[in-house]
Structure 1
Amino acid sequence: MVKVLLVCLLTLVLLLAGPAFVVASGTVSLAVDWSRADRSPVGLAPDPATTPEAVVQVYAARALSWRGAFGVHPWFAVKPAGERRYTVYEVIGWRAYRGLPAVSVSNRDPDGRWFGAPPVVLAELRGAAAAAAIPRIAEAAASYPFAGEYRVWPGPNSNTFAAWVARAVPELRLDLPSTALGKDYLGTGLFARAPSGTGWQVSLFGLAGLLLAREEGVEVNLLGLTVGIDPLDLAVKLPGIGRIALLGDGPPSVPPPAILPPGPPVGPG
């Protein structure tokens, strides 16, 4: 019994080592004035004035305050052909807390900082592929089954939403980072396609599970935190820290926040 407890304690310490390092390194700040945080765009979105083709981009940025040590906030930005502005789909925790639908549909800056944290592009479609995907993204957002719920851990949260939409648009081949806490929450279901659409996963209420997919590689979910290896990109995935490429540059990793944040308190997403 003592050995079992020691193993459990050691596992917990190892899982929390990444988030602890993120805090200790100054990647995230625990004391944040959200009302003065930077929400300005970072220049990753194509200018609609000079980009007539359809565009779909998936972004992620470190979450607000202590949540950023564990997870990111993702969103989908879409622009139909000929449109002069983007539509952004995302789940925001405070909306659910106030009795509103958690799914937000807005025309905010598609590449705006998330309360101080600069985003990266996780996936992108252009032209005909984007035009075909845009109505399906809207449909998936409208049919999100947890629109009236929000929990920072283990979900459903903004990463649960991103995984849901990604499964509806497998052309994105969206490889959500290991810091997308809540992406493995399936509600009462046990099995689902991987968010990238290139494999499968099993998950027990987002607290324990296994994912095997060509795009994501092998991921083990323990207490909502992800440890994994991506053999094709020669990278490891760690809780809090995210992806570490063993050779060369891998897919985009979520950067640390740039100075401090705004907006009502939200979850890891």
Structure 2
Amino acid sequence: MKRFFRYTGWVLGGLLFLLSGPILLATSGSLQGAESWQTATRESAGIAPPPETAQEAIVQVYGARAWSWRGYFAVHTWIATKEKGADHYQVHQVIGWRNHVVNSGPGEPDRHWYGARPELYADIRGALAEKLIPRIYEAVDSYPFPTEYQAWPGPNSNTFVAWVIRQVPGLDVALPNHAIGKDYLVDQIVAEVPGGAGYQVSFGGYFGLLAGVREGVELNVLGLSFGINPLALGIKLPGIGELALRNTNPMPSDSDQTAGAGWEL
């Protein structure tokens, strides 16, 4: 009987830890937004450079808190592209309430996600972006779940973005641990991490372990992930995300974008 209560205590303690982040966000009121999705702002956050002033090719990856109570647990991610000399961006994402869930077309790259301000995860420009964009289009078109959506554990919007990143050599972008669905590996158990240097094991997105240079180490339990990121000097908490001092993803100031322009894709 003592052993039973001991195991029960461990299970309840683990569950409480997994839910502590979402509970904290829910009780703090820090994610309060518009009362209705119809009135929530979808305006640009002013992060992306205007296409008329930026002639170079651009690839950006964004994320923002999911709508309503889902935002206590996860973010919604998307990819934006602009070809060299183009006067507009293309936005690629999955929207769950459509019959054909993949939405790829002209749009604001840094639009608020129904009231939630977006965060720029990665920004690739110039020659490397030019080489990546055609491959991104191909990956978007070949996404294996164009009419399927399941918020948890996937396939969802984060499954889509992780899929595209994995299909495009050179697009090495680590997604945050609270991008629930990124660990849904379609028909695989083992795969490379989106960050490009590392591997992960995932059982249907419910349980898994991830280790990568950009991502650090993550343990996924029922879709909620926690871990550490030594390169970013950060920790990862369920629901809250990564608290880090550095961004390990490519940004415009990174010299590796220049070096990567010569990569064979």
Say yes or no: does 1:155 pair with 2:154: yes
Q: What is the match of residue 190 of structure 1?
A: 189
CA contact (8 A) 1:28 1:66 kept: no
Q: What is the match of residue 240 of structure 2?
A: 241
Q: What is the match of residue 232 of structure 1?
A: 231
Q: What is the match of residue 67 of structure 2?
A: 64
Q: CA RMSD in A?
A: 1.6
* Counterpart secondary structure, 2:129: helix
Q: What is the match of residue 9 of structure 1?
A: 12
CA contact (8 A) 2:153 2:184 kept: yes
Partner amino acid, structure 1, of 2:220: N
Task: Give 4+ residue runs of structure 1 displaced > 4 Å after superposition.
Answer: none
Distance in 2, Cα, partners of 1:242 & 1:220: 13
Any idea what the Cα deviations from partners look like across 1:136-157, whole Å, max 9, x if unmatched? 1111111111222111111110
Say yes or no: does 1:207 pair with 2:218: no
- Which of 39, 55, 62 is the matching residue for 1:52? 55
Alpha-carbon distance change, 111 to 31 in structure 1, aligned in 2, over 3 angstroms = closer
Distance in 2, Cα, partners of 1:215 & 1:252: 5
- Which of 69, 77, 81 is the matching residue for 2:80? 77
Distance in 2, Cα, partners of 1:58 & 1:170: 15
Say yes or no: does 1:90 pair with 2:89: no
Alpha-carbon distance change, 90 to 45 in structure 1, aligned in 2, over 3 angstroms = same
Q: What is the match of residue 246 of structure 2?
A: 250
For structure 1, the residue ranges without an aligned partner over 5 or more in a row are 254-269
Say yes or no: does 1:115 pair with 2:114: yes
Any idea what the Cα deviations from partners look like across 1:184-227, whole Å, max 9, x if unmatched? 01133201110111110000010100011111011100000110
After TM superposition, the score normalised by the length of structure 2 is 0.89
| Identical residues among aligned pairs (%) | 50
Partner amino acid, structure 2, of 1:40: E
Matched length = 246
Shift in Å, 1:124: 1.3
Q: Specify the structure having the higher radius of gyration (Cα).
A: 2
* Counterpart secondary structure, 1:89: strand
Say yes or no: does 1:27 pair with 2:26: no
Shift in Å, 1:27: 2.3
After TM superposition, the score normalised by the length of structure 1 is 0.88
CA contact (8 A) 1:31 1:65 kept: no
Q: What is the match of residue 264 of structure 1?
A: none
Any idea what the Cα deviations from partners look like across 1:84-139, whole Å, max 9, x if unmatched? 000000001001xxxx2211012121111000111111111111111111111111
For structure 2, the residue ranges without an aligned partner over 5 or more in a row are 250-265
Structure scoring higher RCO (CA < 8 A, sep ≥ 6) equals 1
Partner amino acid, structure 2, of 1:135: P
Partner amino acid, structure 2, of 1:137: I
* Counterpart secondary structure, 2:38: helix
Distance in 1, Cα, partners of 2:169 & 2:218: 19
Distance in 2, Cα, partners of 1:2 & 1:32: 43
Partner amino acid, structure 1, of 2:173: L
Shift in Å, 1:3: 2.6
